[in-house]
Amino acid sequence: MQPTDLPRGVTGAAAASPAGGTLRPVVRTVRGTPTSDGAGVKLTRVIGGQALPDLDPFLLFDEFRSDRAGDYIAGFPDHPHRGFETVTYMLAGRMRHRDNQGNSGLLTAGSVQWMTAGRGIVHSEMPEQEDGLMWGFQLWVNLPARDKLTAPRYQDIEPARVPTLRVAPGVAVRLLAGEFGGQSGPVAGITGTQPLYADLQLETGARAELPVPATHNAFAYVYEGAARIGGSAKATARGELAQLGAGDRVLVEADGGRARLVLVAGRPLGEPVARYGPFVMNTREEIMQAFADFQAGRF
Ligand code: FE2
């Protein structure tokens, strides 16, 4: 099939892919809500707010982007986490991470930190800059019940360790986690949700089809320009999340210029979620235990 023969306007229905398999349609488009968190950091909450409370196994997805220091300078002082993973991907700026076990790391543009909070950490995430652009994303990934009390683990990945794949003319993919065509991202050992996390850059007019495991829930978030996803006639604009339906491939096409987006997928856990602020467990009793352990200094 020639590119001009690609299915159009298939939103809400799966379509055959010219490369075989089934294209994932866009089943829903969600725009984030401006909010603030930490000590007053302004951000846009795309997953974890009223519009989209969660997308199993993803509990939260925030974009932070500002060149006004007042929007980010207060940072995220000491706070706990238990029962899930926080993933920070930086596009611009510098963020210092410190925890109560003596771990410290600097997140710079292009780097990713995959932090498995497991049974508990107390940490801070503070800007290491007083002006200029701070831009990136934080994703929360749930842990299966069996791993919720695992030992905390950090994967601090510097930009040079993230491979850039040229998957089609005018399409560059920075692969943070998961696999594309025999290549693997540097984030490893996330066995419960087997995540895929890719940062896509499409030049004007470019298009690509990317494999995404059929077992996974998936979304795309456009952070620059606009893109048509899944053969949809309607473009997904900057600041919009496209929730993807069933299928094993994702078609992305730049719309009206250059487009940049992240593509994220994970195996859903299908387990009960008991959630209170920075604690995400399976039952209310486990949440109470998390509070008790945190207050007793057992994190
Ligand atoms: Fe945190």
Sequence-ordered strand ranges (E) for 143-266: 153-157, 164-168, 171-177, 179-180, 183-184, 196-202, 207-211, 217-224, 226-229, 236-237, 240-244, 249-254, 259-266
For the chain, give the percent of residues with pLDDT over 90: 91
Confidence of residue 9 (pLDDT cuts 50, 70, 90): very low
**166 alpha carbon to ligand 1 midpoint, in Å?**
33
Does the residue 5 lie in any domain?
no
Give residue 279's pLDDT.
Answer: 98
Give residue 234's pLDDT.
Answer: 95
**8 alpha carbon to ligand 1 midpoint, in Å?**
41
**244 alpha carbon to ligand 1 midpoint, in Å?**
27
Does the residue 7 lie in any domain?
no
Q: How many Cα neighbours within 13 Å face the side chain of 9? A: 0
The average confidence (pLDDT) of the chain is 93
Does the residue 4 lie in any domain?
no
**281 alpha carbon to ligand 1 midpoint, in Å?**
16
Span 47-84, pLDDT tens digits: 999 999 999 999 999 999 999 999 999 999 999 999 99
**218 alpha carbon to ligand 1 midpoint, in Å?**
23
Host domain of residue 54: 15-295
The total number of structural domains in the chain stands at 1
The verdict on whether omega for the bond into residue 57 sits within 30 degrees of 0, i.e. cis, is: yes
Q: Which tokens belong to 237?
A: 């604009």
* Residue type, position 14, single letter: A
At residue 290, the 3 state secondary structure works out as helix
Does the residue 77 lie in any domain?
yes
- Region 170-199: what's the mean pLDDT? 96
Does the residue 10 lie in any domain?
no
CA atoms of 167 and 127, how far apart (whole Å): 34
**78 alpha carbon to ligand 1 midpoint, in Å?**
8
**80 alpha carbon to ligand 1 midpoint, in Å?**
7
**174 alpha carbon to ligand 1 midpoint, in Å?**
24
Residue of 229, 237, 238 whose CA lies nearest to 207: 229
Confidence of residue 16 (pLDDT cuts 50, 70, 90): confident
Does the residue 154 lie in any domain?
yes
Give residue 181's pLDDT.
Answer: 79
**72 alpha carbon to ligand 1 midpoint, in Å?**
14
Give residue 83's pLDDT.
Answer: 98
Does the residue 135 lie in any domain?
yes
**84 alpha carbon to ligand 1 midpoint, in Å?**
11
CATH number at 124 reads 2.60.120.10
For the chain, give the percent of residues with pLDDT over 70: 94
Span 124-161, pLDDT tens digits: 999 999 999 999 999 999 999 999 999 999 999 999 99
Confidence of residue 18 (pLDDT cuts 50, 70, 90): low
pLDDT at 8 over 70: no
**267 alpha carbon to ligand 1 midpoint, in Å?**
23
pLDDT at 2 over 70: no
**211 alpha carbon to ligand 1 midpoint, in Å?**
31
Note the pTM of the prediction, 2 decimals. Answer: 0.93
- Region 210-234: what's the mean pLDDT? 96
In DSSP terms, which residues pair with 34 in a beta bridge? 44
Does the residue 56 lie in any domain?
yes
- Edge-to-edge strands of the sheet including 259-266? 26-31, 240-244, 217-224, 259-266, 196-202, 171-177, 164-168
- Region 171-196: what's the mean pLDDT? 96
CA atoms of 54 and 46, how far apart (whole Å): 9
- Region 196-225: what's the mean pLDDT? 97
Q: Which tokens belong to 198?
A: 């890719």
Angle, vertex CA 101, rays to CA 73 and CA 139, nearest 5: 50
**232 alpha carbon to ligand 1 midpoint, in Å?**
36
